[in-house]
Structure 1
Amino acid sequence: MGIITEKLRWSELVDEVRAERLRQDQKWGEQDFVPDVWLSILIEEVGKVARVINEGHLTMKDGWPVKEVQIEDYREQLVQVAAVVITAVECLDRGCLRRADDDMS
């Protein structure tokens, strides 16, 4: 794969994550949470990735066991994980941690 093809693919992937971010904003609105809440949300999303993997089935390929997963579902869940991570960083950049500290004092 050439550099131009890789850059186009990267751009498409970023667009997918951006679209998922917008979808999350429409569904949940702006989200300002402390890190332990973000960790819970992220672990929930990673758990969905794990579920897709665990629901796959084992087959043999060249004498080795191989887990076959639903690639579309797996990829969709990974894009959602990426979007949640970006949302958490956006929250941090908006100063939500500083506001939470101010609320505690």
Structure 2
Amino acid sequence: MHADAARITLDEPDNQPSLEASAERKRKPTRASSEGNYMQQLLEVEEQKLEIAKEKLEIKKRRLAIDEQRLALDQQKFQLELQRHQVYWAKYCVTFSVTDQNQ
């Protein structure tokens, strides 16, 4: 009966954590290593903040470029509208002067 129990435990996979892993979990970080980890994490957070700031700046640059394009299009639209009115008034003046000459 003891042989069967030994065979079963040998055949089953070892679900027990290794002694090294257990010791690693139980080991408490020293003050220096925890401060180093904290500083590393702080550095990573600051780097992430910097990346986010860079992305925001790129977005603002793209929005500015879009606004500049819209402004240019609005200026073109205004110029075309002005030309349309100038043509209208030129035709009106020509028509008015021809009408006056015929009377």
What is the TM-score when the length of structure 1 is the normalising length? 0.28
TM-score when scaled to structure 2?
0.28
Which structure exhibits the higher relative contact order, with contacts defined as CA atoms closer than 8 Å and separated by 6 or more residues?
Answer: 1
Who wins on radius of gyration, i.e. which is larger? Answer: 2
